[in-house]
Amino acid sequence: MASYVFIVFTIIKMPSKGGLQKAFSTCTSHLTAISIFHGIILLLYCVPNANSSRLLVKVATVLYTVLVPMLNPLIYSLRNKDVKETVKRLISSKLHSHSI
């Protein structure tokens, strides 16, 4: 956690506004991926060791091994403006088609 705080302070000291935005964009993508990854690990650690929680452990394990690697390219590609616009258009077209 301390290293991330140090990185944020270093980014804030950057003189260039464009560089600042690009650096925060990269950090946000990385922190999103790391948060999902470590959040699932924390969930697995905190689940009690009982028969009733076996399904939760199985689902979390699948999320950990399958979902996280699948989401990484999506999370990092959202830094691209063209990808962001395409995702926004897809979501708004789906929302409009369901509301009609």
Residue 7 in tokens: 């990185």
pTM for the whole structure: 0.57
Amino acid 85 reads E
* Segment 61-90, tens digit of pLDDT: 888 788 878 887 877 777 777 877 888 888
Residue 83 in tokens: 């990808």
CB 47 within 8 A of CB 61: no
Average pLDDT value for residue range 41-60: 80
Long-range contacts of 92-95 (CB under 8 A, 24+ apart): none
Q: Taking the chain, what is the end-to-end CA distance rounded to the nearest angstrom? A: 47
Mean pLDDT, the chain, as a whole number? 79
